[in-house]
Structure formats: structure tokens, C-alpha cells
Chains A and B, each alone.
Chain A
């Protein structure tokens, strides 16, 4: 699978969303998140967005106070993943309107549903913002 996990982490290193596409135990997840956060958050704007960690490659980008970290296989295309991150942020932006950390905290399920529309089994299956948001808007209207 291309994408192994997607993490949203704030500046303080607190996880705000975690979606794993391969199974890790809770301890492994905690350790992994701790190590990655330590590695990535210390980096500056002048440094590149790719970090090697164990057998993963972490592609990350910072938007305001949130870090979007995506763990991928080693032969995944880093730049395409950066584009994917941007697409994810734009999608959230369109839905929440100027998305911020609190939006994701209080609407964690919605964030997960957006991801589910975009990524299945680590493969990117949808890249149109309208298509991604359609089921969620349907859901909002129903409730």
C-alpha cells in the first residue's frame, strides 16, 4: 500500500488525527508517533519536507499550527504525497471554512470520513474536492 498512515499533530506534539492503513499495536503507534513528532517538529522551514524513519518515509507539511504527516513506502512519490496533503487541507478548508485545529478536534469523525473518501487501503481513490465532500454534505443535511 502506498500510504501507511496519516497523522495530524499540533505544534505541541499532540496528535489530532491518526489513521493507520497497516496494523500497529497501541504501543507501537505511541512509540512511532513520539519518534516522528520529535523528528519532524524540530525541523525548520528551510529544510526539506521528507524524513526517513525506520522503513517509512515521512512526508510532512505544516499549515498554521498543524502538521500533516503522511507515512509512505520508500518508493512512493514524495511530491505527489505533498500534493495529496495539500488537497486534504483544501478539502477541509472548503468544508469547515478556514479550517483550524479546533475544527478537527470537534469534528474528528468528519475528518475521518473525508479521509475515507480519499484513501482506501492506502490507495488514493478520489481527488475531486466536490466528490469527496458530497457524502458528508448529504450526511449533514440528513441530521
Chain B
């Protein structure tokens, strides 16, 4: 029958349906025997069947249809929300089977946000919860309530939960544990029910039945972790008693979770916890309990050295368990909970931690990495980063990139606050780029450029690193590196004055394999060539000037030097110094170059007439084809370069006679003009810079632009993507016009090819064979795991502990901008939901009302007024959230008014009066330290809340019976 109906094509009439209804088993069997790919049709047919059957007046047919639908929606993801009413229809069924099916369907699919018929279930739930109905029915109702209760449902049914929860009903209901868990749901969705349910829930803690205690403790652990734990401090003695008495590991674990929240709030409580915790640590054989103790000690009692010592020893056992990856993972996690204060603990387990970097489990490796990165300080960032970057070379691609990510993030944190030696860091960035697995090009690009802008002292090293990257033809084929190369090209163009050999740079920037780069990166390359070209000519002319002046006589030298730009003097002298050293340097460099490519220019003064001529030829030859490039950025820059070259060519004097060149000073003028265009230093730009620009008066930004729609519709040219660091400001308007049609000098090209034969691949193959060069760093052949960890352990001689290192040189100036520059990634403060506030406020009332009733001034809150009081609290809750909103608004407004703030910044002392100024203070803290500002904000937030909530009792006083 089942097989027949599943293979039949025409839908059967309704009567046949109910007579020959497929059972759930039939459905499952037909689903199992289906051929691959037939599932959707089968499901839709089954669904059509169910839709017909479920409307049947026969309860059996309806129940089976609902059962099938529940199965399909739960395991095959079919929507069952349309059948909510049918489930409701079956809830009152007298048949236990039907009732169970209906409740299961409801609890798997009902939710206040999607089930609009949910209120209709109130009556039935109440009926099933009543003490007169059989416990299995009440159990079903409790389950539905705990999964799907809306605030209204919770409010209406709270009184009905009471008999199940209360200890006063005799005998106590067997469903008390479930009722406790359901009460938790009611409390969290509807704080109004606190006066009804909270006290019975507290009473559950003293029940003789461990199941009840377990459920209640679980509920409190949940409440304490989701809301404000300080509300539960008054219950601490009760929890403490349970901690001493209970023998169930489940209960103990939950109790420890509660204490981990409470201990930081109350030092006396923490002191009292040390003994029982140490006791548990020593004698318990259950690893879960031991681990929970460790976690509680690390997060709640970090000040109690004895306990920490004991816990760290346990963690060492965890880390040493070779056969259980779970314990190793948890051991690492536990260590990462310890703050920097206890870095000795990590230091003691250093070998195990570093060995974990080679663990077969990527999760363990990641934890180890996270732990190590947590131990990085400015004194050991050097060793750790080198260790990790070297290790990344040997590990698998995914983890290698995770390592690079971690190093980049940590070192770049808060505008490189950890980095002292930028030369080292810049070369480390270069090494990272050469990692064959590296896919983090964007971040490396960002940091290279950023350091160039911010750290003046790092520029020479930066240019060196950039040169090494640019000159390596193997890197050009890797699409992940083109961003880094773009940064390298920009750096070497912008800071060319630090380059030892600008001509070599030009060759590197124009090597044939640059055709593999995306057009926008090529545009950066060409612009860099432009800058280098201008620089070379400028230096050449300056030198001629100097030599001419010095030949004129010593008396005029003083005056002459003032003519020359100070910058170029510095650069020229730097190069003059460099030229002496260049021979040896190049000697080294040749070793890692594929061949001596620069035979014509090396070991010579780069700024001779001949070398400049060669450079012009080289540039023209290489760049000329690009003048017709499809990409407009490339084309425009190419034409700029060509225009300049033609202009220089038109002045022939300098080629023949050096002195005549000086006399005909047109070329000097041109070059000086161009050089001065590039001489202005670029700096980092604040993220808020745009906001600081005052909006001109009369500019209406929010005017309706609808009438421009037709203009836009006609103009269908797509906007060009701009490259990441704009070079537009450097473009030279005049040269573009001068770009004459280029002269094809095939002979020169041939000469160039002959000279740099190695660089030239057969032209037609260039595009296709992109990876014929050996990779820069061949990935290590998969060595045996043991070898890798051997290597690693060798590295463990280096300490993870921050050491006092004497820095040989002071940290260079790092330009920082104001207002959260670099800390913009700090997570926003977690603002508690007002519901939580409501809940803890209400619980405060119940608990403290209970304890203080006899003596304190809170007497007026008699039970009669409790309802009103809750209402008060909820009103206050609203005003709290309102004030929060105001705060947010203030913040936003404040952020958009950077200029005003920066004016105010010097008046440090007067900030406490107006909210606006408070915000300023906050912002300032933000700048200084993310963590402390968080603290501050949260603290202030709580203060505000309390100020407004002064109806509720102030901070609870723990009675001394704890002590």
C-alpha cells in the first residue's frame, strides 16, 4: 500500500486518503528507498498529502498527518508554521497519544514571534498544568511552556506553575525540577512574574531531593550568567552550604559557575571559597569538575596564589595528557583565561604550549596560537613573532595564514604600540609576504603604507624591503601578493630618496612580468617610475650645480647650498655615501638575484649622463605599449611618463655637454617643478577627517535628488575604481598634453632585450605561463610531524615571559592621530538589555525585601504593594533605557563634531558637568586604553541606572554570616 501510493502520480481523493493514509513509517521507508535527487518531489507530494489529511475531521487521520509533518519539518526543514492551528486543535484530545503528538509538534515549531495562535493555547496549558491532571500531561505542558512561552503566556500561567514548583504542596510534585526549569523561562521572558516565582525557586535550593536542587541551581547559574550577578549575592550563603554538602558533580559544576560570577563582586566570598575549591581540586576524580574548579579559580579568584598554583598544576596534567586531545585543548583554554599577571603559568608550560602549535588538531593549534599571542609584550614581540613567522613557513596553508593574521593583528594593534624596532618589523613584513601560503596581502599592504606614512625613521628600511620585493620576479605571479607589491611600488616611489640604487628600482618596476599584475597595480608601478625618474634627474642636476659652484670657488658655496632644496641635499649626500657602500652591498645582492642584471650600471655612479640616457630608453621602451592600455589609470600615468620623457628629449644639450645643460636651465626648471610636486610629505589621514570639514553654509545635502535621475540614466559610464592610495594629486597636467605619438624604436628594444635577456620571456607566452619561475620560497616538503615539533621545541629556549630588554635605540616617533585612530576596532560596549535590568531589579526587591523586612526602611514595601513596586521598577527601567538612548545620541552627535572636541581637548579639568563633556572624557579614555574606557563606560552606565533606580535598594550588603 505504501509503495503504491508513493509511486502513484495522480492525487487521490480525500476519502481514499483517510482510508489508505500512509503512516509515518511508510513515509520514512519511501524516503529511504528514494533514488538520489528525488527527495524534493517526494517531499512536496508528501506535503500535499499532509495538507489534505490534516483538515480531516477524524482525529486519528489528523494526528498522523501532524506526526508526519513534525517529522518532515524537524528533519527535512519543511515549514510547519501553517499547521499551528491544527496542532492546537489536538492539544485537548483525551487520547494520550494524540496529546503527545500535538505537544511535540507545538514545542518543535511554536514561537511567539511566528505563531500568532499561541495565545489560544493558554487555556489548555492551564488545564494541563493543574494538579488534578495526570503528571505526564503536566510534563508536556511544562515543556511547551519552557520552549515557546511569550511574555503574556508566562504572565498568565505563572500562578499555575506555582503548585508544581512550591514545596508547600503535599506531596511535592514529581515535576518540580521541570517546573524550576520552566520557571526560569518565565522569569527571563517576563520579569513581572518575579514576585510569584522567585521565592519558590529559592526554596527549591533547600529541597531534600537532589533533582530539585540540581534544576534550581541550574536555573540560578543561568540567571547569574545572563543578568546582573550582584542580584544573587544575598543567596551566596545558601549556595555555599550546597557547595559543602552536595556530592553530585552536576550540581557542583553549576554552583561553581555561579560562584565564578559572584566571587569578583565580593572579596570576602572569594576568600571563603579558596578552601573548598582547593579541596575539590585535590580530591575529585571527575575531570569535568576539576576543570570547572580550574576555570573558577582562574576567572574568579586570580588573587589567591595558593589556589592558582594548585589549578596551574592541574592544567599541566591536562596539557601533558598525550592521549586525550580534549584535555589538551581545555588546558590551553584554561591558561588563556589567566591574565598577563600570571604569565609565569604559561612560561612554566612553555614547551607544551609551543609543541601544541604542531598538534594534529587545528583547534588545538589555534588555541595555542591564541594563548601565545596573549603573551606578547613589547619586550618579547621580537622573539615570538620571528618564531611564529618561521613556523608559518612549515605549517599547512590555513594555519600559516592564521599565524600571519595573528602576528599582523597583534603587532599592528593600537598603532603598533608593541613595536619598538620598526626596521625589524618592516623586514618581518617582507618575510611574511614571501611566505608561499600568504593570502594576507591586503593587511600587509596596509601596514607597509601606513608605517611609511607614520614612522619617518623606518623609511630607509622600508624602501630596502620594498626593493627586495619588487626585484623578485617570482613574486609577480602570485595573485595574493599583488597588493603587497602595489604597496612596495608606492613606497619605493614615494621615498625614493632613501633608495641605494634608483636605476635598479626602475628596472624592477618595469620588468616584463609586471604584465601579470592587475591594471590598477600597474598604474601604481608606473607612477612610481615617474617619481623615480623625476628624482634621478633632480639629483643629477643638483650635483652638477654643486660641482659647478664648488669649482667657482669656496666663497660662494655657502650661498649655493641655500639654493638647493635641503631635502635633495640630504638625499644626494645619502646617495653619495651610498655609492661607496654600494659595491659591497650589490655584491651581496647579486647572490640572490637571478643574474647580474645591472651590469651596465652597477659599480658606477648611477647619476651619470649615460645611465640616465639608458634609463630613459628603458622606460620609454617598456612603458610605450601601455599608452594604449584599456585601463584608463594605466593609460593616463603612462602618458604622463612619456610626456616627461619627450620633454626631456627635446632639450638635447644635457646629453652632450654637461656645462651647457646648466646654462640652458630649462630642464632644471622642469625637473625642479616636478620634484616640488612630490616633495610634500604625505601623512596619515584621520578616519574622522571628512567629518571635520565644516559644511558650507547654504549647502543642502539632503535635498531630493530625484529630478537628477534622468541625468544619471543617460550617463551610463561606470565609475572607475580608484586605487587604494590616491595618486591623483600628483598628476601633472601639462605633460599629458605633450605626450606626442611615440616613436617605435625597435632597435632599442632589441638592445634592451639583449641586455636583460633573462627577464624577457617569449612575448606570446607571457600571459599564459605565469608560474614558470621558481617560487620565492618553496614550501617545505611535508616533513614528519615529529621533525616539526622537534624544530619547534628547539625554539622554546626563547622565553614567553616579558623580559627587561635594553633597547639599543629609542622607539621612533609614530605619528598618531587623535580620537581613536587605530583603536576603531574596539568592540562596542555591551549594553545590557533593559529586560535584564528589570529582572535583576525585581530580584533585588524580592531578595532584599525578604532579608531586610524586619529592620530597614524598606518596610513600606509590604507584599501588598509589590505589584505596584514592580511597576515602578519597570517604569524606571524604561527611563533607564531612555537615558541610554540619550547617551548613544550624545555619543553620535559627539563623534560628528570632531573639530569642536579637538578645540576643547586642552581643558582637561572641566569635564564633569555636562553630559556632552562627559562624553568627551569618555572619548579621551577610548583613545588612551580601550579596556579601561570600557570599564569606565560600563561603570558609569550602572551608576546612571542606579541613580534612576533609587526606588530599588542600593548595593546589597552581604551579611556577615558568610564569614
The answer, yes or no, to whether B454 is at the interface (CB within 8 Å) is no
* A121 and B184 contacting across the interface, CB-CB below 8 Å: yes
Interface code A22-51, partner B: CB below 8 Å = 1, 0 otherwise?
010110011000000000000110111111
Most buried by A among B101, B185, B222, B326: B326
CB-CB nearest in chain A for B181: A120
* B360 and A44 contacting across the interface, CB-CB below 8 Å: yes
* A48 and B113 contacting across the interface, CB-CB below 8 Å: no
* B211 and A125 contacting across the interface, CB-CB below 8 Å: yes
11 more CB-based (< 8 A) A-B contacts, given A109-B101, A125-B211: A19-B108, A26-B73, A47-B325, A50-B326, A50-B329, A78-B326, A82-B326, A113-B104, A120-B177, A124-B250, A126-B211
A103 → chain B closest CB, angstroms: 12
Interface code A108-125, partner B: CB below 8 Å = 1, 0 otherwise?
110011001100111111
Specify which of A21, A30, A52, A126 is in contact with B147 (CB 8 Å cutoff). A21
* B136 and A123 contacting across the interface, CB-CB below 8 Å: no
* A121 and B181 contacting across the interface, CB-CB below 8 Å: yes
Most buried by A among B75, B214, B222, B328: B75
Specify which of A43, A49, A79, A113 is in contact with B100 (CB 8 Å cutoff). A113
Residue total for A at the interface (Cβ-Cβ under 8 A): 54
* B360 and A26 contacting across the interface, CB-CB below 8 Å: no
The answer, yes or no, to whether A64 is at the interface (CB within 8 Å) is no
* A135 and B291 contacting across the interface, CB-CB below 8 Å: no
List 16 contacting pairs A-B, 8 Å CB cutoff, sorted by A. Answer: A17-B74, A21-B147, A46-B325, A48-B363, A49-B326, A77-B253, A78-B326, A78-B330, A79-B330, A80-B250, A105-B28, A120-B142, A121-B184, A123-B219, A125-B211, A125-B215
User: Which residues of chain A are near B211, meaning CB under 8 Å?
Assistant: 125-126, 128, 131
* B291 and A77 contacting across the interface, CB-CB below 8 Å: yes
Q: Tell me, in angstroms, the Cα distance from A73 to B253 when the chains sit together.
A: 15
Q: Tell me, in angstroms, the Cα distance from A79 to B363 when the chains sit together.
A: 16
CB-CB nearest in chain B for A120: B181
User: Which residues of chain B are near A82, meaning CB under 8 Å?
Assistant: 288, 326
Specify which of A48, A73, A78, A135 is in contact with B364 (CB 8 Å cutoff). A48
Contacts of B91-134 to chain A: CB distance below 8 A: 96-97, 100-101, 104, 107-108, 111, 113-114
* A48 and B79 contacting across the interface, CB-CB below 8 Å: no
* B288 and A80 contacting across the interface, CB-CB below 8 Å: yes
* A120 and B288 contacting across the interface, CB-CB below 8 Å: no
The answer, yes or no, to whether B5 is at the interface (CB within 8 Å) is no
Most buried by B among A18, A26, A48: A48
* B363 and A51 contacting across the interface, CB-CB below 8 Å: yes
CB-CB nearest in chain B for A79: B288
User: Which residues of chain A are near B177, meaning CB under 8 Å?
Assistant: 120, 125-126
The answer, yes or no, to whether B841 is at the interface (CB within 8 Å) is no
Residues of chain A having any CB pair with chain B under 8 Å? 1-2, 14-19, 21, 23, 25-26, 29-30, 43-44, 46-52, 73, 75, 77-80, 82-83, 105-106, 108-109, 112-113, 116-117, 120-128, 131, 135, 138-139, 142-143
Q: Tell me, in angstroms, the Cα distance from A73 to B13 when the chains sit together.
A: 49
Q: Tell me, in angstroms, the Cα distance from A33 to B139 when the chains sit together.
A: 28
* B96 and A142 contacting across the interface, CB-CB below 8 Å: yes
User: Which residues of chain B are near A106, meaning CB under 8 Å?
Assistant: 25, 28
The answer, yes or no, to whether B71 is at the interface (CB within 8 Å) is yes
User: Which residues of chain B are near A131, meaning CB under 8 Å?
Assistant: 211
The answer, yes or no, to whether B273 is at the interface (CB within 8 Å) is no
The answer, yes or no, to whether B335 is at the interface (CB within 8 Å) is no
Residues of chain B having any CB pair with chain A under 8 Å? 25, 28, 67, 71, 73-75, 77-79, 96-97, 100-101, 104, 107-108, 111, 113-114, 136, 139-140, 142-143, 146-147, 177-178, 180-182, 184-185, 211, 214-215, 218-219, 221-222, 225, 249-250, 253, 257, 287-288, 291-292, 295, 325-326, 328-330, 360-364
Specify which of A16, A47, A77, A135 is in contact with B363 (CB 8 Å cutoff). A47
Q: Tell me, in angstroms, the Cα distance from A116 to B100 when the chains sit together.
A: 12
* A123 and B218 contacting across the interface, CB-CB below 8 Å: yes
CB-CB nearest in chain B for A142: B96
* A47 and B288 contacting across the interface, CB-CB below 8 Å: no
* A26 and B79 contacting across the interface, CB-CB below 8 Å: yes
User: Which residues of chain B are near A16, meaning CB under 8 Å?
Assistant: 75
Q: Tell me, in angstroms, the Cα distance from A131 to B104 when the chains sit together.
A: 20
Known: A123-B215, A125-B214, A125-B215. A80 touches B139 (CB 8 A): no
* B325 and A124 contacting across the interface, CB-CB below 8 Å: no
User: Which residues of chain A are near B96, meaning CB under 8 Å?
Assistant: 139, 142
User: Which residues of chain B are near A117, meaning CB under 8 Å?
Assistant: 139
CB-CB nearest in chain A for B31: A105
B291 → chain A closest CB, angstroms: 6
Known: A120-B178, A121-B147. A29 touches B326 (CB 8 A): no
Known: A15-B75, A80-B250. A123 touches B222 (CB 8 A): yes
B801 → chain A closest CB, angstroms: 27
User: Which residues of chain A are near B97, meaning CB under 8 Å?
Assistant: 143
Known: A23-B111, A26-B79, A48-B325. A109 touches B100 (CB 8 A): yes
* A75 and B75 contacting across the interface, CB-CB below 8 Å: no
* B139 and A116 contacting across the interface, CB-CB below 8 Å: yes
Known: A47-B360, A108-B71, A109-B101. A135 touches B182 (CB 8 A): no
Q: Tell me, in angstroms, the Cα distance from A1 to B108 when the chains sit together.
A: 17
Known: A18-B75, A44-B360, A143-B97. A79 touches B182 (CB 8 A): no
* A80 and B253 contacting across the interface, CB-CB below 8 Å: yes
Most buried by B among A112, A121, A122, A139: A121
Specify which of A75, A108, A113 is in contact with B74 (CB 8 Å cutoff). A108
User: Which residues of chain B are near A49, meaning CB under 8 Å?
Assistant: 325-326
User: Which residues of chain B are near A23, meaning CB under 8 Å?
Assistant: 111, 113
User: Which residues of chain B are near A124, meaning CB under 8 Å?
Assistant: 214, 218, 250
* B288 and A123 contacting across the interface, CB-CB below 8 Å: no
User: Which residues of chain A are near B329, meaning CB under 8 Å?
Assistant: 48, 50
User: Which residues of chain B are near A79, meaning CB under 8 Å?
Assistant: 287-288, 291, 326, 330
* A52 and B363 contacting across the interface, CB-CB below 8 Å: yes
B507 → chain A closest CB, angstroms: 48
Specify which of A29, A120, A138 is in contact with B182 (CB 8 Å cutoff). A120
* A75 and B257 contacting across the interface, CB-CB below 8 Å: yes
* B181 and A123 contacting across the interface, CB-CB below 8 Å: yes
Q: Tell me, in angstroms, the Cα distance from A61 to B769 when the chains sit together.
A: 48
Q: Tell me, in angstroms, the Cα distance from A108 to B27 when the chains sit together.
A: 13
Q: Tell me, in angstroms, the Cα distance from A46 to B358 when the chains sit together.
A: 13
Q: Tell me, in angstroms, the Cα distance from A40 to B425 when the chains sit together.
A: 38
User: Which residues of chain A are near B107, meaning CB under 8 Å?
Assistant: 116
Q: Tell me, in angstroms, the Cα distance from A108 to B31 when the chains sit together.
A: 15
Known: A15-B75, A125-B181. A2 touches B214 (CB 8 A): no
Nearest 6 CB-CB pairings of A with B: A79-B288, A120-B181, A121-B146, A47-B361, A48-B325, A123-B218
Q: Tell me, in angstroms, the Cα distance from A28 to B464 when the chains sit together.
A: 51
CB-CB nearest in chain A for B176: A125
A76 → chain B closest CB, angstroms: 9
CB-CB nearest in chain B for A27: B77
Q: Tell me, in angstroms, the Cα distance from A17 to B291 when the chains sit together.
A: 30
A48 → chain B closest CB, angstroms: 4
Specify which of B77, B184, B363 is in contact with A123 (CB 8 Å cutoff). B184
User: Which residues of chain A are near B178, meaning CB under 8 Å?
Assistant: 120, 125
CB-CB nearest in chain B for A18: B74
* A46 and B361 contacting across the interface, CB-CB below 8 Å: yes
Q: Tell me, in angstroms, the Cα distance from A47 to B257 when the chains sit together.
A: 27
Q: Tell me, in angstroms, the Cα distance from A51 to B367 when the chains sit together.
A: 11
Known: A79-B287, A120-B181. A29 touches B361 (CB 8 A): no
* B143 and A46 contacting across the interface, CB-CB below 8 Å: no
* A135 and B139 contacting across the interface, CB-CB below 8 Å: yes
A27 → chain B closest CB, angstroms: 8
Q: Tell me, in angstroms, the Cα distance from A25 to B71 when the chains sit together.
A: 16
User: Which residues of chain A are near B328, meaning CB under 8 Å?
Assistant: 48
Specify which of A1, A18, A46, A127 is in contact with B360 (CB 8 Å cutoff). A46
Known: A46-B325, A135-B136. A17 touches B75 (CB 8 A): yes
* A109 and B181 contacting across the interface, CB-CB below 8 Å: no
* B182 and A26 contacting across the interface, CB-CB below 8 Å: no
User: Which residues of chain A are near B28, meaning CB under 8 Å?
Assistant: 105-106
